[in-house]
Amino acid sequence: MSSSSKQKEIQQQFQEQMDEKELLNCMRCGFCLPSCPTYIESGQQETHSPRGRIALMKAVRDGVIEPDEDVEHSLNLCLGCRACEPVCPSGVKYGQLLEDARDIIQQHKKQSFPVKLMRRVVFKGLFPSQSRMRQVASFLRFYQTSGLQTAARKTRILKVLPSHLQLMEQALPKVPPQKKKRLNEYKAIGQAKKRVAFFTGCLMDTVFSNTNKATIHLLQLAGCDVIVPPIQTCCGALHGHSGEKDQAKQLAKRNIEAFEETDADAIVMNAGGCGAFLSDYGHLLQDDPDFQKRSKAFSQKITDISSILVELEFHRRVPLVLPAQVITYQDSCHLRNGMNVQQAPRVLMKAIQGVTFKEMKDAGRCCGSAGIYNILQPDMSMQILDHKMTEASNTAAAAIVTSNPGCQLQMAAGVKKAGHISSMRAIHLADFLLEAVQYGKKASSS
């Protein structure tokens, strides 16, 4: 297919698939500009703002400009953090527009064989298969515990990697042993108040499986019977954000079918990126007659661990105590902007005795992780991270608490990069709360 034919086909698909009404909803008012990290960090370039990107999408749809590399670069440089959505007076659903545009361009992108192979391995072979995810996690654990990691660092063989990947290697948490079998149901500790299903995720259930265990235990303490559907799969967020929408739809259908059987009051997750995408299944499958209603019913049940803990007054029922320390919180963009969960994590942290909570300036601004953005766009990611670490350092916090694995890895990398490894740590909210539960239990029994 010639270049001009391909561009015409992309334009046609923009006309057929992009929501013209949503594109026209943007009033070009500019309220989104101060909230957009890439607009700020790029020196206020209009094409790197939500308003500018929507204008590019509409121009491609109308045939005013060609969908060239500059348009693709502008869309790819977007974090997809959706910070523009809460401040938009018109309520433009920017995240959905971005995913639709990326999907169309990806379908027509001519890629080299290595790139095609890598995308196939990652998006079709790895993330949809929990057994393969466990194999990768087991390899990482072997690397960390066998002496290979120590040897690699001492011989400086890792210097062959780009600097941002070296930093990520240093920020990786200790990977726990991978267990193939686990319980599918956990009873509430005390009187049962709710029956909930738990979405385990792919990365959370392997590299961060201890955080999942902590989450389940917190739910039990809060009075929840917890069901863990064994046939659930990856949420599809990375696929949806990277132009692999068909694969994301297949994963969504598998999850809906898995959780329908639980008949749970709520579907609880502990990763903001997963939660926002799960909440958008209704949009993702809006054109599928078999899943239109089912996807909306599924999405309506999605809730974050912090929200349900506050709802059940966990922080009032369970003693939460830690040694005196200052902590701060880095919002998960998708939890804050996609699910509108801001206060619940803060309520829980402020309820811990001995802890002084200090709000970080621009806590709601993206940390630069954004799924695999820190790998694909390392320069902008590190630039955003440096700004974030300046604000985190100003709080003098001993712990940066967050609610998403990508954010935790990114902030851990930031702590390492800023030279604060001995005085500061990054930790998931569920792990931090469990520490407070365990310390409080010891304090009350002594």
User: Would you say residue 407 lies in a domain?
Assistant: yes
> Which CATH number belongs to the domain containing residue 217 in this structure?
1.20.1050
* Domain of 238, in residue numbers: 185-310
> Which CATH number belongs to the domain containing residue 376 in this structure?
3.40.50
For 112, other C-beta atoms within 10 Å of its C-beta total: 8
Q: Does residue 197 share a domain with residue 160?
A: no
**Regarding beta strands 353-357 and 302-304, do their DSSP bridges make them parallel or antiparallel, or are they unpaired?**
unpaired
Q: Does residue 396 share a domain with residue 290?
A: no
Q: 401 near 330, Cβ under 8 Å? A: yes
Which residues lie closer than 8 Å to 233 by C-beta, 6 or more apart?
128, 130, 202, 251, 254, 255, 258
Name the 3-class secondary structure at 329.
strand
Question: What is the reported pLDDT for 446?
Answer: 65
Q: Does residue 331 share a domain with residue 391?
A: yes
Question: What is the reported pLDDT for 357?
Answer: 98
User: Would you say residue 298 lies in a domain?
Assistant: yes
Q: Does residue 438 share a domain with residue 322?
A: yes
Q: 33 near 39, Cβ under 8 Å? A: yes
Q: Does residue 119 share a domain with residue 97?
A: no
- The phi, psi pair for 245, rounded to 5°, reads -70, -35
Q: By C-alpha distance, which of 196, 213, 195, 197 is closest to 205? A: 213
Q: Does residue 256 share a domain with residue 236?
A: yes
Q: Does residue 131 share a domain with residue 39?
A: no
Which residues lie closer than 8 Å to 208 by C-beta, 6 or more apart?
173, 405, 408, 428
**Locus of tokens 């069901």:** 227
Question: What is the reported pLDDT for 114?
Answer: 77
Q: 415 near 389, Cβ under 8 Å? A: yes
Question: What is the reported pLDDT for 289?
Answer: 95
Question: What is the reported pLDDT for 442?
Answer: 85
Q: 53 near 47, Cβ under 8 Å? A: yes
Domain total of the chain: 4
Q: Does residue 157 share a domain with residue 51?
A: no
For 294, other C-beta atoms within 10 Å of its C-beta total: 17
* Dist. CA 115–CA 255, nearest whole Å: 28
Q: Does residue 126 share a domain with residue 153?
A: yes
Burial of 185 (0-12, 13-18, 19+ CB in 10 A): exposed
How many Cα atoms sit within 13 Å of 156 on the Cβ side?
1
**Locus of tokens 């995913």:** 99
Burial of 147 (0-12, 13-18, 19+ CB in 10 A): exposed
Question: What is the reported pLDDT for 347?
Answer: 98
- Name the amino acid, one letter, at 397: A
**Locus of tokens 């018109």:** 90
pTM check: above 0.75: yes
- Name the amino acid, one letter, at 327: I
Q: Does residue 416 share a domain with residue 334?
A: yes
For 300, other C-beta atoms within 10 Å of its C-beta total: 13
Which residues of 135-187 form beta strands (DSSP E)?
Answer: 185-186
User: Would you say residue 347 lies in a domain?
Assistant: yes
Q: By C-alpha distance, which of 177, 182, 170 is closest to 134? A: 177
- The phi, psi pair for 324, rounded to 5°, reads -55, 130
Question: What is the reported pLDDT for 106?
Answer: 87
User: Would you say residue 261 lies in a domain?
Assistant: yes
The first and second tokens of residue 12, run together, are 């046609």
pLDDT per position in the chain (446 positions), as tens?
A: 556 777 788 888 999 888 899 999 999 999 999 999 999 999 999 999 999 999 999 999 999 998 889 999 999 999 999 999 999 999 999 999 999 999 999 888 777 777 778 888 888 888 888 889 999 999 999 999 999 999 999 998 988 888 888 988 888 889 999 877 677 999 999 999 999 999 999 999 999 999 999 999 999 999 999 999 999 999 999 999 888 899 999 999 999 999 998 989 999 999 999 999 999 999 999 999 999 999 999 999 999 999 999 999 999 999 999 999 999 999 999 999 999 999 999 999 999 999 999 999 999 999 999 888 988 899 999 999 999 999 999 999 999 999 999 999 999 999 999 999 899 999 999 999 999 999 998 887 76
- The C-alpha torsion from 377 through 23 and 16 to 338, rounded to 10°, is 60
User: Would you say residue 207 lies in a domain?
Assistant: yes
Q: 307 near 344, Cβ under 8 Å? A: yes
